[in-house]
Amino acid sequence: MTSQGGLTYRGSGVDIDLATRGLQRAKAAIEATHGDGCVGGVGGFGGLFRMPEGLREPLLVASTDGAGTKIHVAHLVGRHGTLGEDLVNHCVNDILVQGARPLFLLDYIAAGKLDEDVLVDVIEGFARACGANGCALLGGETAEMPGTYREGDFDLCATVIGVVERAHLRPTPDVGPGDVLIGLQSSGLHTNGFSLARKAIFERAGLSVSDTPEVLGGTTIGDALLAVHRTYAPLLLPLLEDDAIKAMCHITGGGFTDNLPRVLPEGVRARVDATRWTPLPIFDLIRESGDVAADEMHRTFNMGIGMILVTRPERADALLAALEAAGESGACVIGDLVAGERGVDIAHRS
């Protein structure tokens, strides 16, 4: 038998040095997110975080998610740095609806073969969003798994841990008929619905990420699809100090149809009037490209409304004024709650 020399991990497709170099390049961005709560530095086996002081009955709130097939659009455009921001903001919004503020986040990046520059871009995106949301990028894992992913592919996941006082937990027990729904604008698709969007735009319509269809007003399809998933935490956390907001609903996978019932008690039904706002142009492009029915659009996408607030009717005007004072000019009443089977009725545009 001819000797071929001893095997190495690098020769098997895993370059430990690459991951180490990437982490070192991103270390300053990671450390910039570390506040008083962090104990120890970057590189330990586990991240340490000190519980905030002054809380009477704190509840930890956790959420985990992945970036989904938005990654494929990032590949087509050749821009990956915003994916980390998308994932942080998605997870932060998910715990925000329970009234929680984020404490720290853990990330996971897996690929068949890591690209060092892409790795650094993604980690720095995680760090940017953590800084914007006031939480620490506490730790994570980078995995190179040859044979598991196709060449050039990778996946992202993140887990955020936050805290809320039990007395301030949302939804409040008194959510019920007569309450009104206030919609907050999204920045685009956020991080869901990309499998349908890609099939409609790229396969059915034969368009590319560099095209600028008239409906997008000069914006490329790639830029419209990669618009960063918006965070609502900086806007809403200061407004949770009083009881005007009874519940919040993050419109993600499942759209209006599947997400609104998650914050409603039994015997309460939501009525949404989709004529109250104008969907973002990217949704018109998807609908027209794929001949997608209205019900399917509202079950898949946020349609331009990324967060819904539930409030008492007598508090609606004051809440809208507070939102506008905080810079949220596009907020509007989009529906109400009535007695009935838990679910959602949507009045579509003609």
**Whole-model pTM?**
0.93
Measured CA distances, 298 to 24, 146, 200, 227, 260 (Å): 43, 38, 15, 19, 12
Asked if 145 contacts 15 with a C-beta cutoff of 8 angstroms, the reply is no
Rounded CA gap, 104 and 145, in Å?
26
At 161-186, the pLDDT tens digits run: 999 999 999 999 999 999 999 999 99
pLDDT value at residue 327: 95
Cα dihedral sign, 104-112-193-79 = positive
pLDDT value at residue 41: 72
**Of the options 3.40.50.720, 3.90.650.10, 2.40.128.20, 1.10.3720.10, the CATH number for the domain spanning 180-347:** 3.90.650.10
Q: Which residues contact 205 (CB under 8 A, 6 or more apart)?
A: 289, 290
Rounded CA gap, 196 and 292, in Å?
9
pLDDT in tens, the chain (350 residues): 455 668 877 877 788 878 788 878 888 888 888 988 888 777 677 888 999 999 999 999 999 999 999 999 999 999 998 999 999 999 999 999 999 999 999 999 999 998 999 999 999 999 999 999 999 999 899 999 988 988 888 999 999 999 999 999 999 999 999 999 999 999 999 999 999 999 999 999 999 999 999 999 999 999 999 999 999 999 999 999 889 999 999 999 999 999 999 999 999 999 999 999 999 999 999 999 999 999 999 999 999 999 999 999 999 999 999 999 999 989 999 999 999 999 999 998 76
Place of tokens 């994570």: 140
155-164 burial code (b ≥16 CB/10 A, e <16) = bbbbbbbbbb
Rounded CA gap, 182 and 305, in Å?
10
Domain range summary for the chain, segments of one domain joined by +: 10-168, 180-347
Asked if 225 contacts 282 with a C-beta cutoff of 8 angstroms, the reply is yes
**Of the options 3.30.1330.10, 1.10.760.10, 3.40.50.300, 1.10.10.10, the CATH number for the domain spanning 10-168:** 3.30.1330.10
